Amino acid sequence: MRVAVVGATGMVGGVMLRVLEERSFPLEMLIPVASERSAGKTIKYAGQSVVVVTLDEAVSLKPDLALFSAGGETSLQWAKKFTDAGTVVIDNSSAWRMDPEIPLIVPEVNGRSLKSGHRLIANPNCSTIQMVLALSPLHREYGIRRLVISTYQSVTGTGIKAVRQLENERQGISGEKAYHYVIDKNCIPQCDAFTPNGYTKEEMKLVNETRKILSDDSIGITATAVRVPVAGGHSESVNIEFRKDFDLDRVKNLLSQTPGVIVHDDPANNQYPMPAMSENRDEVFVGRIRRDDSAENALNMWIVADNLRKGAATNTIQIAEYMLKEGLI
């Protein structure tokens, strides 16, 4: 297979390259793609130096698969140029996620909805991916009525500029800022821009993408997304109100049996998920699982995952692996 990675010199693109190599993805030609100013540079892949090309050059090479992680504007402008050339595109931006014609996929949850005619597939938001992976088996069993979500999101979700801001602030160095405020020793209750309803785009992604992936528009969802001074891994406090009563042991058993989920929940021994635990891991960790006694049929969970891996690069590549296995590429 000829595989293009669009945004290969960026933070998520770099992780995509690493995950492709780690998982021995079956490619015979890697096409790293970046902006014109990065064209001609080389990146390392599987011990070889590979030259970075422009988007125009990449389209002309007609790759079998293109993994996009170069922002929404690039995806809107270029994704369909690749699909018109016969390429299957898996896009990591928000550009196509809510298009009713474009599948929004977490393979373990709704991979079966992929069909042979799908040439453009959307990868969900990082916070959505880890949450729906844990929610999906519980929704099937008990039916989710309402979700109240609070996220604690790593600066890596913003990009390299935000990582540098945090590092500079910790060292007392002045530099370019990704945020309006200091992030070191601080929490910023804003992820992405505000929308007219007072919620941020990140919060509305959690609302809209969750309903689409779980195929249930009736779920009531509210979210608050917070940026925290952590350099790897997103955490989420999720309060779930079910339509039916549940057994706590059964909930833990369902989660333990879910591919890609690790239950780490032993409060008596101070065992619970933390972002430091998830860094460079592909699993979603779930803990602090407990009944919410203030509401009927309600549960609290704490969900943690590496936002650059399962929240972005790994899920993208798992979509490609699933399509390969099913003969869709």
In this predicted model, what pLDDT tens digit does every residue of 41-71 receive, in sequence order? 999 999 999 999 999 999 999 999 999 999 9
Mean pLDDT of 92-106: 97
Q: Which of 118, 139, 234, 264 is catalytic?
A: 234
Query: What is the pLDDT at residue 162?
Result: 97
Contact (CB, 8 A) for 255 and 137: yes
Q: Copy the structure tokens of residue 122.
A: 């959307």
CA atoms of 188 and 230, how far apart (whole Å): 12
State the pLDDT at residue 36. Answer: 87
| Residue 98: how many other CB atoms lie within 10 Å | 15
- 81 HSE (CA, 13 A, CB side): 14
- C-alpha to C-alpha distance for 110 and 23, rounded to whole angstroms: 21
CB atoms within 10 A of CB 188: 17
- Answer whether 82's CB lies under 8 Å from 89's CB: yes
d(CA 223, CA 237): 10
Q: Are 87 and 4 spatial neighbours (Cβ–Cβ below 8 Å)?
A: yes
Q: Which two tokens stand for residue 205?
A: 């992604």
pLDDT for position 232:
87
What average pLDDT does this structure show over 193-203? 98
- What domains are there in the chain, each with its CATH number? 2-124+312-325 (3.40.50.720), 127-307 (3.30.360.10)
When the pLDDT of each residue in the chain is averaged and rounded to a whole number, the result is: 96
Q: Which helix (H) or strand (E) holds 316?
A: helix 314-325
Answer yes or no: 191 catalytic: no
Predicted local distance difference test score (pLDDT) of residue 160: 92
Q: How far apart are CA 218 and CA 204, in angstroms?
A: 15
Please determine, for residue 183, whether its predicted confidence score (pLDDT) is greater than 90: yes
> pLDDT band for position 152 (50/70/90)?
very high
Catalytic residue selected from 126, 139, 191, 264: 126
Residue 91 in this model has a pLDDT that exceeds 90: yes
Q: Exposed (0-12), middle (13-18) or buried (19+): which is 225, by Cβ within 10 Å?
A: buried
- Is 264 marked active-site? no
pTM reported for the whole predicted model: 0.95
- Band the pLDDT of 89: cuts 50, 70, 90: very high
Asked if pLDDT for residue 269 goes beyond 90, the answer is yes
Q: Using the CB atoms, write b or e for 59-68: b if 16+ within 10 Å.
A: beeebbbbbb
Residue 38 gets which letter from DSSP?
Answer: T
Structure-token pair, residue 256: 């333990």
Q: What is the separation of C-alpha 49 from the centre of its chain, rounded to a whole number of angstroms?
A: 28
Nearest to 66 by CA among 93, 84, 89, 45: 89
- 329 pLDDT band (50/70/90 cuts)? confident
Residues 217-251 have pLDDT tens digits of: 999 999 999 999 999 899 999 999 999 999 999 99
The arithmetic mean of pLDDT across residues 253-261, rounded, is 98
Q: State the pLDDT confidence band at 301, using cuts at 50, 70 and 90.
A: very high
Burial of 41 (0-12, 13-18, 19+ CB in 10 A): middle
